[in-house]
Amino acid sequence: MSAEKIVALGKSVPAEYADAKERIEISLTAVQRRQQPTTAGSQPATTPALLPTSLPTSLPAPLPAPQPASKPAEPRSYQLVLANVGGKTYAWIPGAAPSAVGLCYGGVWDALTAELRDRLVWQISAEKITAISLTAGAERLELAKQNDRWQYTADPLVKIDSAKVSNFLNSISQLQADKYAAYAPAGPADDKKFGLDKPWFTLTLTDVDGGSRQLVVSSEGDDKALNRYAREAKVQGVLVISNDQTGKMAVGLKDFKQ
């Protein structure tokens, strides 16, 4: 890692960096990979002849004495402190003498503060879904697939447009979270904190193998104009999902009727 330029050099790190409200402390341990030993003058192996073409006139040279195994490299530890001051990132090595503070290139802070978790909630195959259940308050919509045709389970006489159901499933086949609001497994306290105890809606998808995915979506978000809190049964933590994605799921019977 290199700095764009050095902004401070002295006995200690200036307070404007050392006492910054936004700081990251990084500790890395690295071990050098051992290289395989090679024998001097060795040649690539060839396929031996079935019988020698001539008898040896002398004894073969003795094999080289075995060499002791090389000692594995000692791990090395590195420490780095970064501070975000005025939208710019500065870094230094703690305890270094002299103390040098460097201005980092753009993007370093965002890269180091990014979540180290996959934000993909699910990736489903629309063709394998055989049942859809959507609950919003007292309203409940249930669709089931029978003989490649979708039916409204509450009233099989209602004609459902299977193409509309397929389009709906394709539109939500890949669900991505914007970020995580909480990393720990969601419990009753989290449900109440994020409004998931009284959800906006709950969507359950069941596939041909009997597996299911269930998404509980809150009517709240850290910015209601942009997103909603959500919880998925197989994903640990509380998710933040964009209104664009949750809006695709807020459907009713009228959206599937012929």
Tell me the pLDDT tens digit for each residue of 31-50. 876 665 555 555 555 544 44
State the total domains in the chain.
2
Among 49, 83, 114, residue at a domain's last position: 114
Please indicate, yes or no, if residue 57 is contained in any of the structural domains. no
pLDDT at 52: 47
Could you tell me which of 257, 203, 210, 205 has the C-alpha nearest to residue 228? 203
Same domain, 84 and 198: no
Are 196 and 238 a contacting pair, CB within 8 Å?
yes
Arithmetic mean of pLDDT, 7-11: 94
pLDDT at 84: 94
Same domain, 197 and 135: yes
Same domain, 125 and 224: yes
Please indicate, yes or no, if residue 41 is contained in any of the structural domains. no
Same domain, 86 and 109: yes
**Is the pLDDT confidence value at 214 over 70?**
yes
Please indicate, yes or no, if residue 141 is contained in any of the structural domains. yes
Among 61, 90, 114, residue at a domain's last position: 114
Arithmetic mean of pLDDT, 153-172: 96
Q: What distance in Å separates the CA atoms of residue 145 and residue 208, rounded to the nearest whole number?
A: 10
Are 88 and 103 a contacting pair, CB within 8 Å?
yes
SS3 of residue 232 by DSSP: strand
Please enumerate in sequence order all residues whose Cβ is within 8 A of that of 108, keeping only pairs 6 or more positions apart, or say none: 1, 82, 89, 91
**Residue 9 banded pLDDT, cuts 50, 70, 90:** very high
**Residue 225 banded pLDDT, cuts 50, 70, 90:** very high
CB atoms within 10 A of CB 235: 22
| pLDDT higher at 161 or 233 | 161
Please indicate, yes or no, if residue 79 is contained in any of the structural domains. yes
pLDDT at 30: 85
Among 90, 114, 138, residue at a domain's last position: 114
Same domain, 213 and 146: yes
Arithmetic mean of pLDDT, 63-73: 64
Could you tell me the end-to-end alpha-carbon distance of the chain, in angstroms, rounded to an integer?
Answer: 60
Question: Greatest CA span in the chain, whole angstroms?
Answer: 98
Of the listed ranges 139-143, 179-183, 243-247, the least confidently predicted one is 179-183
Residue 4 sits in which domain range? 1-31+73-114
Are 220 and 233 a contacting pair, CB within 8 Å?
no
